[in-house]
A and B are shown apart, each in its own frame.
Chain A
Amino acid sequence: MWVRSALAYRASFLMMAFGNFAANALDFVAIMLMFSRIDALGGFSLPEVAFLYGTSGVSLGLTDLLLGSIEGLGRRVRDGTLDVLLLRPAPVFAQVAADRFALRRLGRLTQAVLVLGWSLPRIPVDWTVGRALMVPLMAVCGAAIFAAVFTAGAAFQFWAQDAAEVQNSFTYGGNAMLQYPPTVFARELVRGVTFLVPLAFVNWLPALRLLGRPDPLGLPGWVDFLGPVVAALMCAGAGLAWRLGLRSYRSTGS
Chain B
Amino acid sequence: MLSTFHGLEVAKRGMFTQQAALYVTAHNIANANTPGYSRQRVNFVETEPFPPASMNRPQIPGQMGTGVEAGSIQRIRDSFLDYQYRNEASKLGYWSARSEAIAKMEDIMNEPSEFGLSKAMTQFWESLQDLSANPENEGARAVVRQRGVAVAESFNYLYTSLSQIRDDLGQEIKTGLLEVNSILKQISELNDQIKAVEPNGYLPNDLYDKRDALVDELSKYFQVKVETVPSGGNALDIAEGIYEISLVNQDGSTIKIVTKDGYSKLSVDPPVDPVNDPTNPDGYVSKIQIEDALGNITTIRDSEFGNLASGRIKSLIESYGYGSDPNNVKGYYPEMLADLDKMAYSFATMFNAQHREGYDLNNSNGVDFFEMNVSDNTTGKGAAASIKVSDVIMSDLGKIAASSNSGESGNGNNALYLSMIKDVQITNGSAALPSGSGTTVSVPITSGTVQTFYQGLVGKIGVDGQQAERMKTNAETLATSVDNKRQSVSSVSLDEEMTNMIKFQHAYNAAARIITAIDEMLDKIINNMGIAGR
Question: Are these two chains actual partners, yes or no?
Answer: no
